[in-house]
Amino acid sequence: MESLRSKKYKQEFVSTFPGDDSGNLTPRQTPGKLYSKAIPTPVEKVSLLAWSDELAEELGIQKPADQQELDILGGNLVTDTMYPYAACYAGHQFGSWAGQLGDGRAITLGEWETTAGKTYELQLKGAGPTAYSRRADGRAVLRSSVREYLMSEAMHYLGVPTTRALSLVATGEPVLRDMFYNGNAAYEPGAIVMRVAPSFLRFGNFEMLNARKETENLTNLVNWTIDRYYPHLQGEDRVLDWFKEIVERTARLMVEWQRVGFVHGVMNTDNMSVLGLTIDYGPYSFVDDYDPDFTPNTTDLPGRRYAFGKQPGIAYWNLGCLAAALLPLVAKDKLLPALESYKELYWQKYYQMMGNKLGLDKTTNEDTTLVTQFEETLATIKPDMTIFFQLLIDLPLCMENAEAVAEHFKDSLYNDLTPEQSEQLYSLITSYLQRLNRNTITRAASQALMRKTNPRFVLRNYLLHQAIEELERGDNTLFRKLQQAIKEPYSTKYDEFFQTRPEWASQKAGCSMLSCSS
Protein backbone atom coordinates (compact mmCIF):
# COMPACT_ATOMS: atom_id res chain seq x y z
CA MET A 1 0.00 0.00 0.00
CA GLU A 2 1.23 3.49 -0.83
CA SER A 3 0.09 6.84 0.40
CA LEU A 4 -1.51 9.46 -1.82
CA ARG A 5 1.14 11.91 -0.65
CA SER A 6 4.33 9.94 -1.25
CA LYS A 7 3.23 8.25 -4.49
CA LYS A 8 5.23 8.98 -7.59
CA TYR A 9 2.44 9.74 -10.07
CA LYS A 10 2.75 9.19 -13.79
CA GLN A 11 1.90 11.98 -16.21
CA GLU A 12 1.75 10.17 -19.53
CA PHE A 13 -1.20 11.99 -21.03
CA VAL A 14 0.18 15.45 -20.37
CA SER A 15 3.71 14.52 -21.36
CA THR A 16 2.52 13.01 -24.66
CA PHE A 17 0.11 15.66 -25.94
CA PRO A 18 0.21 19.40 -26.49
CA GLY A 19 -1.52 21.28 -23.73
CA ASP A 20 -1.83 24.73 -22.30
CA ASP A 21 0.60 24.73 -19.42
CA SER A 22 -0.03 28.31 -18.35
CA GLY A 23 -2.31 27.35 -15.48
CA ASN A 24 -4.66 30.14 -16.58
CA LEU A 25 -8.18 29.37 -15.33
CA THR A 26 -10.00 31.96 -17.42
CA PRO A 27 -12.65 30.25 -19.57
CA ARG A 28 -11.52 30.12 -23.17
CA GLN A 29 -11.14 28.11 -26.36
CA THR A 30 -7.91 26.15 -26.50
CA PRO A 31 -7.30 25.21 -30.15
CA GLY A 32 -4.39 22.83 -30.69
CA LYS A 33 -4.47 21.73 -27.04
CA LEU A 34 -5.75 18.48 -25.55
CA TYR A 35 -5.71 19.74 -21.99
CA SER A 36 -5.10 22.79 -19.86
CA LYS A 37 -3.24 22.83 -16.60
CA ALA A 38 -5.68 23.50 -13.76
CA ILE A 39 -4.53 23.71 -10.18
CA PRO A 40 -7.43 22.95 -7.85
CA THR A 41 -8.73 25.96 -5.96
CA PRO A 42 -8.33 25.29 -2.22
CA VAL A 43 -11.43 24.98 -0.07
CA GLU A 44 -12.18 25.98 3.50
CA LYS A 45 -11.83 22.60 5.20
CA VAL A 46 -11.61 19.12 3.75
CA SER A 47 -13.41 16.48 5.80
CA LEU A 48 -13.88 12.88 4.83
CA LEU A 49 -17.44 11.64 4.33
CA ALA A 50 -16.71 8.36 2.60
CA TRP A 51 -13.80 6.21 1.52
CA SER A 52 -14.02 3.09 -0.67
CA ASP A 53 -11.92 0.52 1.16
CA GLU A 54 -12.25 -2.17 -1.51
CA LEU A 55 -11.23 0.12 -4.36
CA ALA A 56 -8.35 1.52 -2.33
CA GLU A 57 -7.24 -2.03 -1.62
CA GLU A 58 -7.42 -2.93 -5.31
CA LEU A 59 -5.28 0.06 -6.25
CA GLY A 60 -2.96 -0.23 -3.27
CA ILE A 61 -3.87 3.18 -1.85
CA GLN A 62 -3.49 3.81 1.86
CA LYS A 63 -6.39 5.47 3.60
CA PRO A 64 -5.44 9.07 4.43
CA ALA A 65 -4.08 9.15 7.94
CA ASP A 66 -3.81 12.88 8.55
CA GLN A 67 -5.25 16.19 7.42
CA GLN A 68 -2.52 16.75 4.84
CA GLU A 69 -3.42 13.54 3.05
CA LEU A 70 -7.09 14.38 3.26
CA ASP A 71 -6.26 17.71 1.69
CA ILE A 72 -5.31 15.87 -1.50
CA LEU A 73 -8.87 14.58 -1.76
CA GLY A 74 -10.22 18.12 -1.61
CA GLY A 75 -7.69 19.76 -3.89
CA ASN A 76 -5.94 21.61 -1.05
CA LEU A 77 -2.69 19.78 -1.60
CA VAL A 78 -1.08 18.97 -4.95
CA THR A 79 2.09 16.91 -4.63
CA ASP A 80 5.27 17.39 -6.64
CA THR A 81 4.72 14.55 -9.08
CA MET A 82 1.10 15.43 -9.83
CA TYR A 83 0.25 17.47 -12.90
CA PRO A 84 -3.34 18.65 -12.45
CA TYR A 85 -5.17 19.23 -15.71
CA ALA A 86 -8.58 19.54 -17.29
CA ALA A 87 -9.09 17.64 -20.55
CA CYS A 88 -10.40 19.44 -23.60
CA TYR A 89 -13.25 17.74 -25.40
CA ALA A 90 -16.32 18.65 -27.39
CA GLY A 91 -19.60 16.87 -27.96
CA HIS A 92 -23.12 16.57 -29.24
CA GLN A 93 -25.63 17.55 -26.58
CA PHE A 94 -29.27 16.54 -27.06
CA GLY A 95 -28.55 15.81 -30.70
CA SER A 96 -26.83 19.10 -31.55
CA TRP A 97 -23.19 19.96 -31.95
CA ALA A 98 -22.11 21.90 -28.86
CA GLY A 99 -18.49 22.66 -29.78
CA GLN A 100 -15.79 22.74 -27.13
CA LEU A 101 -16.91 21.66 -23.67
CA GLY A 102 -14.04 20.12 -21.69
CA ASP A 103 -13.66 19.28 -18.01
CA GLY A 104 -15.37 22.26 -16.46
CA ARG A 105 -15.12 20.95 -12.94
CA ALA A 106 -13.10 17.77 -13.17
CA ILE A 107 -9.36 17.91 -12.62
CA THR A 108 -7.11 14.91 -13.12
CA LEU A 109 -4.33 15.00 -10.55
CA GLY A 110 -2.15 12.26 -11.96
CA GLU A 111 -1.97 8.64 -13.06
CA TRP A 112 -1.71 6.06 -10.28
CA GLU A 113 0.20 2.95 -11.28
CA THR A 114 -0.54 -0.21 -9.31
CA THR A 115 2.09 -2.79 -8.46
CA ALA A 116 0.54 -4.93 -11.20
CA GLY A 117 1.40 -2.19 -13.70
CA LYS A 118 -2.13 -0.94 -14.34
CA THR A 119 -2.68 2.80 -14.36
CA TYR A 120 -5.67 4.78 -13.21
CA GLU A 121 -6.49 8.45 -13.50
CA LEU A 122 -7.26 10.04 -10.16
CA GLN A 123 -9.68 12.85 -10.81
CA LEU A 124 -11.35 15.39 -8.54
CA LYS A 125 -14.85 16.47 -9.45
CA GLY A 126 -15.80 19.83 -8.02
CA ALA A 127 -12.31 21.13 -7.24
CA GLY A 128 -12.81 24.56 -8.78
CA PRO A 129 -12.71 26.28 -12.14
CA THR A 130 -10.70 25.25 -15.16
CA ALA A 131 -10.20 26.76 -18.58
CA TYR A 132 -13.38 24.85 -19.56
CA SER A 133 -15.73 26.03 -16.82
CA ARG A 134 -17.44 28.44 -19.22
CA ARG A 135 -19.89 30.42 -17.08
CA ALA A 136 -20.04 27.91 -14.21
CA ASP A 137 -18.10 27.71 -10.95
CA GLY A 138 -16.27 24.40 -11.22
CA ARG A 139 -17.82 23.23 -7.97
CA ALA A 140 -20.15 20.40 -7.03
CA VAL A 141 -22.77 20.21 -4.29
CA LEU A 142 -23.07 17.49 -1.69
CA ARG A 143 -26.31 16.24 -3.25
CA SER A 144 -24.80 15.49 -6.66
CA SER A 145 -21.51 14.25 -5.17
CA VAL A 146 -23.25 11.70 -2.95
CA ARG A 147 -25.18 10.57 -6.01
CA GLU A 148 -22.01 10.14 -8.09
CA TYR A 149 -20.09 8.49 -5.29
CA LEU A 150 -22.73 5.94 -4.33
CA MET A 151 -24.03 5.17 -7.78
CA SER A 152 -20.71 4.57 -9.45
CA GLU A 153 -19.85 2.14 -6.69
CA ALA A 154 -23.34 0.60 -6.87
CA MET A 155 -22.94 0.00 -10.59
CA HIS A 156 -19.61 -1.66 -9.99
CA TYR A 157 -21.14 -4.12 -7.56
CA LEU A 158 -24.02 -4.75 -9.94
CA GLY A 159 -21.40 -5.86 -12.44
CA VAL A 160 -21.94 -2.96 -14.84
CA PRO A 161 -18.81 -1.39 -16.39
CA THR A 162 -18.28 1.97 -14.74
CA THR A 163 -15.85 4.58 -13.52
CA ARG A 164 -15.31 4.28 -9.76
CA ALA A 165 -15.28 6.63 -6.79
CA LEU A 166 -12.56 6.48 -4.16
CA SER A 167 -13.60 9.23 -1.81
CA LEU A 168 -16.17 11.82 -0.97
CA VAL A 169 -15.21 14.87 1.02
CA ALA A 170 -17.07 17.92 2.27
CA THR A 171 -15.44 21.24 1.44
CA GLY A 172 -16.88 23.32 4.26
CA GLU A 173 -17.96 25.85 1.63
CA PRO A 174 -21.41 26.71 0.38
CA VAL A 175 -22.16 26.48 -3.33
CA LEU A 176 -24.94 28.46 -4.99
CA ARG A 177 -27.34 26.43 -7.13
CA ASP A 178 -30.67 27.01 -8.80
CA MET A 179 -31.76 23.41 -8.37
CA PHE A 180 -35.01 23.69 -10.34
CA TYR A 181 -33.84 26.32 -12.83
CA ASN A 182 -36.70 28.52 -11.65
CA GLY A 183 -34.85 31.54 -10.33
CA ASN A 184 -34.74 30.30 -6.74
CA ALA A 185 -31.03 29.87 -6.24
CA ALA A 186 -29.94 28.73 -2.79
CA TYR A 187 -26.73 27.75 -1.06
CA GLU A 188 -25.97 24.08 -0.66
CA PRO A 189 -23.00 22.39 1.01
CA GLY A 190 -20.09 21.78 -1.36
CA ALA A 191 -18.35 18.43 -1.83
CA ILE A 192 -15.73 16.74 -3.99
CA VAL A 193 -15.58 13.19 -5.28
CA MET A 194 -12.34 11.56 -6.29
CA ARG A 195 -13.18 9.51 -9.36
CA VAL A 196 -11.04 6.71 -10.68
CA ALA A 197 -10.89 5.10 -14.11
CA PRO A 198 -8.19 3.76 -16.41
CA SER A 199 -9.19 6.70 -18.59
CA PHE A 200 -11.93 9.30 -18.74
CA LEU A 201 -11.50 9.76 -22.51
CA ARG A 202 -14.84 10.26 -24.19
CA PHE A 203 -16.18 10.18 -27.74
CA GLY A 204 -16.04 13.98 -27.47
CA ASN A 205 -12.25 14.08 -27.14
CA PHE A 206 -12.00 12.62 -30.65
CA GLU A 207 -14.89 14.64 -32.05
CA MET A 208 -13.16 17.81 -30.99
CA LEU A 209 -9.92 17.05 -32.81
CA ASN A 210 -11.80 16.15 -35.97
CA ALA A 211 -13.96 19.27 -35.79
CA ARG A 212 -10.82 21.36 -35.48
CA LYS A 213 -9.19 19.48 -38.32
CA GLU A 214 -6.23 18.66 -36.09
CA THR A 215 -5.54 15.40 -37.87
CA GLU A 216 -2.11 14.90 -36.40
CA ASN A 217 -3.43 15.26 -32.85
CA LEU A 218 -6.33 12.99 -33.73
CA THR A 219 -4.02 10.31 -35.14
CA ASN A 220 -1.76 10.52 -32.12
CA LEU A 221 -4.61 10.35 -29.61
CA VAL A 222 -6.16 7.37 -31.38
CA ASN A 223 -2.86 5.50 -31.51
CA TRP A 224 -2.06 6.33 -27.92
CA THR A 225 -5.50 5.19 -26.75
CA ILE A 226 -5.14 1.91 -28.64
CA ASP A 227 -1.58 1.26 -27.41
CA ARG A 228 -2.53 1.97 -23.85
CA TYR A 229 -6.05 0.60 -23.48
CA TYR A 230 -6.44 -1.79 -26.41
CA PRO A 231 -2.90 -3.18 -26.72
CA HIS A 232 -4.19 -6.42 -28.28
CA LEU A 233 -5.09 -4.51 -31.44
CA GLN A 234 -1.91 -4.55 -33.48
CA GLY A 235 -3.06 -5.37 -37.01
CA GLU A 236 -2.99 -3.20 -40.10
CA ASP A 237 -6.60 -2.09 -39.59
CA ARG A 238 -6.16 -1.32 -35.93
CA VAL A 239 -8.15 1.93 -35.93
CA LEU A 240 -11.07 0.17 -37.56
CA ASP A 241 -10.68 -2.76 -35.18
CA TRP A 242 -10.61 -0.32 -32.30
CA PHE A 243 -13.83 1.30 -33.43
CA LYS A 244 -15.40 -2.16 -33.77
CA GLU A 245 -14.41 -2.94 -30.21
CA ILE A 246 -15.90 0.30 -28.94
CA VAL A 247 -19.08 -0.61 -30.79
CA GLU A 248 -19.04 -3.99 -29.07
CA ARG A 249 -18.33 -2.58 -25.61
CA THR A 250 -20.97 0.10 -25.99
CA ALA A 251 -23.55 -2.50 -27.04
CA ARG A 252 -22.62 -4.56 -23.99
CA LEU A 253 -22.94 -1.52 -21.74
CA MET A 254 -26.40 -0.72 -23.10
CA VAL A 255 -27.52 -4.30 -22.48
CA GLU A 256 -26.25 -4.02 -18.93
CA TRP A 257 -28.14 -0.79 -18.36
CA GLN A 258 -31.32 -2.42 -19.67
CA ARG A 259 -30.71 -5.46 -17.48
CA VAL A 260 -30.65 -3.51 -14.23
CA GLY A 261 -33.04 -0.75 -15.34
CA PHE A 262 -30.53 2.10 -15.27
CA VAL A 263 -31.38 5.32 -17.06
CA HIS A 264 -28.36 7.60 -17.51
CA GLY A 265 -30.32 10.73 -18.30
CA VAL A 266 -27.68 12.68 -20.25
CA MET A 267 -26.31 10.47 -23.00
CA ASN A 268 -24.51 13.30 -24.78
CA THR A 269 -21.42 12.23 -26.70
CA ASP A 270 -19.21 13.95 -24.14
CA ASN A 271 -20.63 11.50 -21.61
CA MET A 272 -19.74 8.39 -23.63
CA SER A 273 -16.58 6.59 -22.56
CA VAL A 274 -14.26 5.12 -25.20
CA LEU A 275 -13.66 2.27 -22.75
CA GLY A 276 -17.36 1.38 -22.65
CA LEU A 277 -17.79 2.53 -19.05
CA THR A 278 -20.75 4.26 -17.45
CA ILE A 279 -19.44 7.76 -16.97
CA ASP A 280 -20.72 11.06 -15.51
CA TYR A 281 -23.46 10.42 -13.01
CA GLY A 282 -25.96 13.27 -13.15
CA PRO A 283 -29.76 13.13 -13.28
CA TYR A 284 -29.83 9.33 -13.58
CA SER A 285 -32.39 6.95 -12.14
CA PHE A 286 -33.28 3.34 -11.94
CA VAL A 287 -36.62 2.50 -13.45
CA ASP A 288 -39.13 2.01 -10.66
CA ASP A 289 -42.43 1.47 -12.49
CA TYR A 290 -41.51 -0.09 -15.82
CA ASP A 291 -41.86 2.51 -18.53
CA PRO A 292 -39.74 2.63 -21.69
CA ASP A 293 -40.58 6.35 -21.99
CA PHE A 294 -39.26 7.23 -18.56
CA THR A 295 -36.57 9.88 -18.44
CA PRO A 296 -35.31 11.15 -15.08
CA ASN A 297 -33.87 14.36 -16.52
CA THR A 298 -36.20 17.39 -16.48
CA THR A 299 -34.17 18.97 -19.31
CA ASP A 300 -34.92 15.88 -21.40
CA LEU A 301 -38.69 16.05 -20.91
CA PRO A 302 -39.62 17.79 -24.15
CA GLY A 303 -38.26 15.04 -26.40
CA ARG A 304 -37.50 12.20 -23.99
CA ARG A 305 -34.42 11.59 -26.11
CA TYR A 306 -32.67 9.80 -23.26
CA ALA A 307 -35.62 7.72 -22.03
CA PHE A 308 -35.06 4.17 -20.76
CA GLY A 309 -36.16 2.42 -23.93
CA LYS A 310 -34.28 4.78 -26.21
CA GLN A 311 -30.83 4.33 -24.70
CA PRO A 312 -29.63 1.55 -27.03
CA GLY A 313 -30.65 3.57 -30.10
CA ILE A 314 -29.00 6.71 -28.75
CA ALA A 315 -25.79 4.79 -28.15
CA TYR A 316 -25.85 3.85 -31.84
CA TRP A 317 -26.39 7.50 -32.78
CA ASN A 318 -23.48 8.50 -30.54
CA LEU A 319 -21.28 5.83 -32.10
CA GLY A 320 -22.15 7.42 -35.44
CA CYS A 321 -20.65 10.67 -34.13
CA LEU A 322 -17.50 8.85 -33.11
CA ALA A 323 -17.30 7.16 -36.51
CA ALA A 324 -17.62 10.56 -38.18
CA ALA A 325 -14.72 11.81 -36.07
CA LEU A 326 -12.57 8.93 -37.33
CA LEU A 327 -13.23 9.59 -41.01
CA PRO A 328 -9.81 11.22 -41.56
CA LEU A 329 -8.24 7.92 -40.41
CA VAL A 330 -10.51 5.17 -41.75
CA ALA A 331 -12.42 4.93 -45.02
CA LYS A 332 -16.15 5.48 -44.75
CA ASP A 333 -16.97 2.19 -46.48
CA LYS A 334 -15.14 0.39 -43.67
CA LEU A 335 -16.51 2.46 -40.80
CA LEU A 336 -20.13 2.23 -41.86
CA PRO A 337 -20.47 -1.58 -41.73
CA ALA A 338 -18.67 -1.52 -38.36
CA LEU A 339 -21.19 1.01 -37.10
CA GLU A 340 -24.05 -1.03 -38.53
CA SER A 341 -22.81 -4.14 -36.73
CA TYR A 342 -23.98 -2.46 -33.53
CA LYS A 343 -27.58 -3.44 -34.14
CA GLU A 344 -26.96 -7.13 -34.50
CA LEU A 345 -24.47 -7.16 -31.64
CA TYR A 346 -26.89 -5.34 -29.42
CA TRP A 347 -29.88 -7.55 -30.16
CA GLN A 348 -27.92 -10.73 -29.84
CA LYS A 349 -26.55 -9.68 -26.43
CA TYR A 350 -29.88 -8.26 -25.41
CA TYR A 351 -31.84 -11.43 -26.06
CA GLN A 352 -29.16 -13.49 -24.35
CA MET A 353 -29.40 -11.23 -21.32
CA MET A 354 -33.20 -11.35 -21.32
CA GLY A 355 -33.04 -15.13 -21.55
CA ASN A 356 -30.89 -15.06 -18.42
CA LYS A 357 -33.30 -12.72 -16.67
CA LEU A 358 -36.06 -15.20 -17.45
CA GLY A 359 -34.01 -18.22 -16.44
CA LEU A 360 -33.96 -19.85 -19.89
CA ASP A 361 -31.45 -22.53 -20.77
CA LYS A 362 -30.78 -20.86 -24.10
CA THR A 363 -32.41 -18.10 -26.08
CA THR A 364 -33.74 -19.19 -29.43
CA ASN A 365 -35.42 -17.16 -32.16
CA GLU A 366 -38.80 -18.23 -30.83
CA ASP A 367 -37.91 -16.87 -27.42
CA THR A 368 -37.60 -13.37 -28.82
CA THR A 369 -41.39 -13.39 -29.14
CA LEU A 370 -41.68 -14.20 -25.46
CA VAL A 371 -39.24 -11.41 -24.60
CA THR A 372 -41.32 -8.98 -26.65
CA GLN A 373 -44.43 -10.18 -24.86
CA PHE A 374 -42.72 -9.42 -21.55
CA GLU A 375 -41.74 -5.93 -22.72
CA GLU A 376 -45.21 -5.12 -23.98
CA THR A 377 -46.97 -6.46 -20.92
CA LEU A 378 -44.66 -4.70 -18.50
CA ALA A 379 -45.05 -1.43 -20.41
CA THR A 380 -48.83 -1.74 -20.04
CA ILE A 381 -48.98 -2.82 -16.41
CA LYS A 382 -45.99 -0.77 -15.27
CA PRO A 383 -45.05 -2.91 -12.29
CA ASP A 384 -41.90 -2.18 -10.35
CA MET A 385 -39.19 -3.60 -12.62
CA THR A 386 -36.88 -4.85 -9.87
CA ILE A 387 -39.60 -6.40 -7.75
CA PHE A 388 -41.42 -7.94 -10.71
CA PHE A 389 -38.35 -9.91 -11.80
CA GLN A 390 -37.70 -11.00 -8.22
CA LEU A 391 -41.24 -12.31 -7.93
CA LEU A 392 -40.80 -14.06 -11.26
CA ILE A 393 -37.98 -16.12 -9.76
CA ASP A 394 -40.36 -17.70 -7.25
CA LEU A 395 -43.26 -18.13 -9.62
CA PRO A 396 -45.25 -21.30 -8.83
CA LEU A 397 -45.04 -23.63 -11.81
CA CYS A 398 -48.78 -23.95 -11.96
CA MET A 399 -50.94 -20.84 -12.05
CA GLU A 400 -54.67 -21.59 -12.05
CA ASN A 401 -56.11 -18.32 -13.27
CA ALA A 402 -55.59 -14.59 -13.78
CA GLU A 403 -56.45 -13.81 -10.14
CA ALA A 404 -53.74 -16.11 -8.87
CA VAL A 405 -51.19 -14.48 -11.17
CA ALA A 406 -52.22 -10.97 -10.13
CA GLU A 407 -52.00 -12.04 -6.49
CA HIS A 408 -48.49 -13.40 -7.01
CA PHE A 409 -47.23 -10.12 -8.48
CA LYS A 410 -49.22 -7.77 -6.28
CA ASP A 411 -46.23 -6.47 -4.33
CA SER A 412 -44.72 -5.17 -7.55
CA LEU A 413 -47.79 -3.21 -8.66
CA TYR A 414 -48.23 0.55 -8.41
CA ASN A 415 -51.86 0.39 -9.57
CA ASP A 416 -54.71 -2.10 -9.43
CA LEU A 417 -54.91 -4.07 -12.64
CA THR A 418 -57.83 -3.55 -14.98
CA PRO A 419 -59.49 -6.80 -16.16
CA GLU A 420 -57.69 -6.44 -19.52
CA GLN A 421 -54.32 -5.97 -17.85
CA SER A 422 -54.98 -8.92 -15.63
CA GLU A 423 -55.71 -11.08 -18.68
CA GLN A 424 -52.62 -9.79 -20.46
CA LEU A 425 -50.46 -10.68 -17.48
CA TYR A 426 -52.06 -14.11 -17.18
CA SER A 427 -51.48 -14.77 -20.86
CA LEU A 428 -47.83 -13.73 -20.51
CA ILE A 429 -47.28 -15.97 -17.52
CA THR A 430 -48.99 -18.88 -19.28
CA SER A 431 -46.60 -18.52 -22.24
CA TYR A 432 -43.69 -18.21 -19.85
CA LEU A 433 -44.62 -21.33 -17.89
CA GLN A 434 -44.93 -23.28 -21.12
CA ARG A 435 -41.45 -22.17 -22.05
CA LEU A 436 -40.07 -23.06 -18.61
CA ASN A 437 -41.52 -26.52 -19.15
CA ARG A 438 -39.25 -26.96 -22.14
CA ASN A 439 -36.16 -25.82 -20.22
CA THR A 440 -33.39 -28.40 -20.32
CA ILE A 441 -31.86 -27.11 -17.10
CA THR A 442 -33.29 -27.84 -13.69
CA ARG A 443 -35.64 -25.40 -12.02
CA ALA A 444 -32.97 -24.75 -9.39
CA ALA A 445 -30.38 -23.93 -12.07
CA SER A 446 -32.85 -21.68 -13.83
CA GLN A 447 -33.62 -19.84 -10.58
CA ALA A 448 -29.94 -19.51 -9.76
CA LEU A 449 -29.38 -17.91 -13.18
CA MET A 450 -32.24 -15.50 -12.52
CA ARG A 451 -30.90 -14.63 -9.08
CA LYS A 452 -27.57 -13.56 -10.47
CA THR A 453 -29.05 -11.67 -13.40
CA ASN A 454 -31.82 -9.77 -11.61
CA PRO A 455 -30.75 -7.36 -8.88
CA ARG A 456 -32.82 -7.37 -5.72
CA PHE A 457 -31.48 -4.12 -4.34
CA VAL A 458 -31.15 -1.08 -6.57
CA LEU A 459 -30.16 2.37 -5.39
CA ARG A 460 -33.43 4.17 -5.97
CA ASN A 461 -33.55 7.95 -6.22
CA TYR A 462 -35.83 8.35 -3.24
CA LEU A 463 -33.36 6.45 -1.04
CA LEU A 464 -30.57 8.72 -2.23
CA HIS A 465 -32.79 11.72 -1.62
CA GLN A 466 -33.49 10.63 1.96
CA ALA A 467 -29.83 9.86 2.62
CA ILE A 468 -28.79 13.27 1.26
CA GLU A 469 -31.37 15.13 3.35
CA GLU A 470 -30.13 13.30 6.43
CA LEU A 471 -26.50 14.03 5.58
CA GLU A 472 -27.28 17.71 5.15
CA ARG A 473 -28.61 17.60 8.72
CA GLY A 474 -25.45 15.84 9.88
CA ASP A 475 -26.88 12.34 10.19
CA ASN A 476 -25.15 9.63 8.17
CA THR A 477 -27.22 6.60 9.24
CA LEU A 478 -28.97 5.91 5.94
CA PHE A 479 -25.91 6.90 3.91
CA ARG A 480 -23.82 4.32 5.77
CA LYS A 481 -26.48 1.68 5.29
CA LEU A 482 -26.72 2.36 1.56
CA GLN A 483 -22.93 2.14 1.30
CA GLN A 484 -23.25 -1.43 2.55
CA ALA A 485 -26.39 -2.36 0.63
CA ILE A 486 -24.90 -1.43 -2.75
CA LYS A 487 -22.26 -4.09 -2.21
CA GLU A 488 -24.77 -6.94 -2.14
CA PRO A 489 -27.37 -6.13 -4.75
CA TYR A 490 -28.22 -9.73 -5.49
CA SER A 491 -28.80 -10.89 -1.92
CA THR A 492 -31.79 -10.69 0.40
CA LYS A 493 -29.67 -9.11 3.11
CA TYR A 494 -31.07 -5.63 2.62
CA ASP A 495 -34.70 -6.58 2.19
CA GLU A 496 -35.73 -3.65 4.35
CA PHE A 497 -35.39 -1.75 1.04
CA PHE A 498 -37.27 -4.37 -0.95
CA GLN A 499 -40.37 -2.32 -1.63
CA THR A 500 -41.89 -0.18 -4.35
CA ARG A 501 -41.12 3.52 -4.43
CA PRO A 502 -43.38 5.11 -1.80
CA GLU A 503 -46.27 7.29 -2.96
CA TRP A 504 -44.78 10.49 -1.46
CA ALA A 505 -41.73 10.11 -3.70
CA SER A 506 -43.53 9.72 -6.99
CA GLN A 507 -43.85 13.44 -7.73
CA LYS A 508 -41.17 14.85 -5.46
CA ALA A 509 -38.19 16.49 -7.16
CA GLY A 510 -35.02 14.53 -6.58
CA CYS A 511 -36.99 11.30 -6.20
CA SER A 512 -38.44 10.77 -9.63
CA MET A 513 -37.17 13.68 -11.70
CA LEU A 514 -33.92 15.60 -11.44
CA SER A 515 -32.40 18.57 -13.14
CA CYS A 516 -28.83 18.76 -14.40
CA SER A 517 -28.08 21.33 -11.68
CA SER A 518 -25.32 19.80 -9.64
Which residues are known catalytic residues? Answer: 270
> Taking CB under 5 A as the rule, does residue 69 contact Mg ion?
no
- Residue 412 has what DSSP assignment? G
Residue 516 contact, options Mg ion, ligand AMP, none, Cβ 5-8 Å cut-off depending on partner type: ligand AMP
CB of 496 to ligand AMP, least distance (A): 32
> Taking CB under 6 A as the rule, does residue 283 contact ligand AMP?
no
- Single out the residue of 302, 303, 294, 268 nearest to residue 282, CA to CA: 268
Q: Which span (190-198, 231-239, 278-286, 323-331) binds Mg ion, by CB under 5 A?
A: 278-286
Residue of 110, 138, 320, 489 that binds ligand AMP (CB under 6 A): 138
Alpha helices in 33-129 (DSSP H): 53-59, 67-73
Nearer to ligand AMP by C-beta: 148 or 289?
148
Residue of 280, 288, 289, 300 that binds Mg ion (CB under 5 A): 280
Are 386 and 500 in contact by the 8 Å Cβ rule? The answer is no
Q: For strands 106-113 and 119-125, give the pairing.
A: antiparallel
CB of 209 to ligand AMP, least distance (A): 16
Residue 409 DSSP SS3: coil
Residue of 30, 76, 123, 133 that binds ligand AMP (CB under 6 A): 133
| Sign of the alpha-carbon dihedral angle for 159, 163, 166, 170 | negative
Residue 165 contact, options ligand AMP, Mg ion, none, Cβ 5-8 Å cut-off depending on partner type: none
Residue of 123, 205, 225, 271 that binds ligand AMP (CB under 6 A): 271
Contacts of 462 (CB under 8 A, 6+ apart): 501, 502, 505, 508, 511, 512
Give 123's strand partners. 108, 195
Q: What is the dihedral of CA 95, 98, 102, 103, to 10 degrees?
A: -60
Residue 501 contact, options ligand AMP, Mg ion, none, Cβ 5-8 Å cut-off depending on partner type: none
Whole-number Å distance between alpha carbons of 190 and 449: 42
> Taking CB under 5 A as the rule, does residue 273 contact Mg ion?
no
Nearer to ligand AMP by C-beta: 59 or 107?
107
Where on the phi/psi map is residue 183: left (φ > 0), alpha (ψ -120 to 50), or beta?
left
> Taking CB under 6 A as the rule, does residue 137 contact ligand AMP?
yes
Residue 198: Cβ within 10 Å count: 16
Q: Which span (48-56, 101-109, 238-246, 309-317) binds ligand AMP, by CB under 6 A?
A: 101-109
> Taking CB under 6 A as the rule, does residue 282 contact ligand AMP?
yes
Q: Which span (13-21, 68-76, 233-241, 279-287) binds Mg ion, by CB under 5 A?
A: 279-287
The residue ranges that bind ligand AMP (CB under 6 A) are: 101-105, 132-133, 136-139, 266, 270-271, 280, 282, 516
